[in-house]
Amino acid sequence: MKIEFLGAARCVTGSSYLLHLPEMKILVDCGLFQGRRELEDRNYGPFPFDPSDIDYLIITHAHIDHLGLLPKLIKDGFKGKVFATRATVDLSPVMLMDAGHIQETEAAWKTKKALRTGKKPVEPLYTMADAELCKGYMEGVAYDEFIPLSGKIRFRFRDAGHILGSASLELWVEEYGKVKKIIFSGDLGSKGHPIVKDPAHIEEADVVLIESTYGNRLHKGIKETEDELIAAISETQKKGGNVLIPSFALGRTQDILFFLNRASRAGRLSNLTVYVDSPLAIAATEIYLMHPDCFDKEAYELIIKAKPSKNAPKLIFTQTAEESMEINKRAKGAVIIAGSGMCEAGRIRHHLKHNLWKEEASIIFVGYQAEGTLGRRIVDGARMVRVFGEEIAVKARVYTIGGLSAHADRDELLDWLGRIKGNPEIFVVHGEEETSFKFADEIIDRFGYRVHVPKWREAFEV
């Protein structure tokens, strides 16, 4: 059989792998490319295959870099079925509708500019209406359940411990009377990561595609990270200012809510008012609460079984723009979680405008800030930044907390891989080019496996 690497090959976004099998074609993930211009341009070209030829699409989780091109796939002729875990099926429409909204807004803005220079209007990559159609193609299945796709092909999702519903994929294919097993790691979580269970151990394989986001790094421990977060909030509370946390809606926001809840109930934080100021984050949080079966034991006890407590933080979900604007009139000493995670868009920019110039306020970065973003400029120590066309002084205290990643670090990835028996052939994916090569060297040193770092659109016979 042949595997084609159509995304997340020497980069971290656009996850997509096409399997050419004797009986059918299976696409694993259909993610949006994000980041550098040349990567984003890849979203707009035609698919390097005919979407109507694909029998099944299997999605590992609901992050947009893994399913964000599904509406385009359908628009371009896909007629097959999409499998994902049940939680992923619930999260996907919410994520895709939001992505469709962003695509429409961007296209409208580009059209305005284009028309002024006598050019044609710009079509969105897909619309909210396109995104809405996806739900009808999706079928949710349980973790660990074997799903036959034919007499000779079957698959199973295993918990990847990354976000709610995230999965690694095991796929068995019988060819010429011999069964081959391929594993797609998906995005793998860290051990002890809040809410979700630890990644499942996979027993054996012939071929493994493994992510390498942090294949060259070690994370700080969860405990140390939580201590840093609590200290930053306590210091700001003492000064009487607001705490802003720019955060991604799916995964990171729920993790932070978990930490704040746990710390408050343990008496390590007090009088906490937390605003979740993002309709997408609110929707994602509600879906988390619909899937307690995906929680680890501690999260189940803390979220589902916990009794009301006067120590628990006061949580306020602000859905509308009006409610969001009210926050800055009302809030003092509050924690405000809003998107986007790198401050490039979304409601966080309003809060930055109202708080950045205040010495008593603080901003806590809990995720990676890419070069060229407003978040990165603040982290790098800019004294003045532009927000909504206005120069704003940066007087608030800036904290960067690095240990909250939802990805396994180098040693955890190697540990996960080391448990797989059968001398598998390895493909290192979902990492920056340099990181992927470094991680590939680690695998060769440690296990002596055959390792590849595929290029975009490269194909391998396995």
Question: By the criterion CB under 5 A, which residues form the site for Zn ion?
Answer: 63, 65, 187
Residue with tokens 């790094």: 217
> In the complex, what is the shortest distance from the CB of residue 163 to Zn ion, in angstroms, rounded to a whole number?
6
User: Whose Cβ is closer to Zn ion: residue 88's or residue 318's?
Assistant: 88
Report which secondary-structure segment, H or E, holds 77: none
Point out the residue whose Cβ comes nearest to Zn ion. 63
Of 55, 75, 127, whose CA–CA distance to 96 is shortest?
127
The values of phi and psi at residue 351, to 5°, are -70, -35
We find the least distance from the C-beta atom of residue 162 to Zn ion, in angstroms, to be 5
Q: How distant, in Å, are the alpha carbons of 229, 288, 370, 399, 448 from that of 245?
A: 10, 20, 16, 10, 43
Provide, rounded to whole angstroms, the least separation between the CB of residue 73 and Zn ion.
Answer: 18
CA distance 250 to 99: 13
Nearer to Zn ion, 25 or 63 (CB): 63
Residue 442, φ and ψ in degrees, nearest 5: -60, -45
Please state at what angle helix 321-330 crosses helix 348-355, rounded to 10 degrees.
Answer: 20
Residue 458 in contact with residue 5, Cβ under 8 Å?
yes
In angstroms, give the least distance from the CB of 166 to Zn ion. 7
Least Å distance between CB 66 and Zn ion? 6
| CB nearer Zn ion, residue 63 or residue 438 | 63
CB-nearer residue toward Zn ion: 65 or 442: 65
Distance CA 165, CA 276 (A): 21
Beta bridge partners of 365: 400
Q: Could you tell me the smallest distance in angstroms from the CB atom of residue 197 to Zn ion?
A: 16
- Minimum CB separation of residue 232 from Zn ion in Å reads 25
From residue 247, how far is each of 344, 347, 408 by CA, in Å? 11, 11, 19
Length of the chain equals: 462
Q: How far is the C-alpha of 398 from the C-alpha of 381, rounded, in Å?
A: 8
Helices 410-418 & 433-447, crossing angle to 10 degrees?
A: 40
Nearer to Zn ion, 7 or 313 (CB): 7
Residues 203, 205, 206: CA angle, nearest 5 degrees: 165
Q: Shortest distance, CB of residue 313 to Zn ion, whole angstroms?
A: 26
Give me the least distance between CB of 109 and Zn ion, in Å please: 27
| For Zn ion, the closer CB: 193 or 397 | 193
d(CA 238, CA 281): 28
At residue 403, the 3 state secondary structure works out as coil
Q: Using the minimum distance from each CB to Zn ion, give the nearer residue, 163 or 302.
A: 163
Residue 448 to residue 441: CA distance in whole angstroms? 9
**What is the strand order of the sheet 147-148 is part of?**
147-148, 153-159, 167-175, 178-184, 207-211, 425-429, 451-452
Nearer to Zn ion, 11 or 18 (CB): 11
Instruction: Give least dist CB 143 to Zn ion, A.
Output: 17
Name the residue nearer to Zn ion (CB basis): 63 or 410. 63
For residue 151, the Cα-to-chain-centroid distance in whole angstroms is 34
Nearer to Zn ion, 62 or 363 (CB): 62
For Zn ion, which is the closer residue by CB, 264 or 340?
Answer: 340
Tell me how far, at minimum, the Cβ of 283 lies from Zn ion, in Å.
Answer: 17
143 vs 159: CA distance, rounded Å: 7
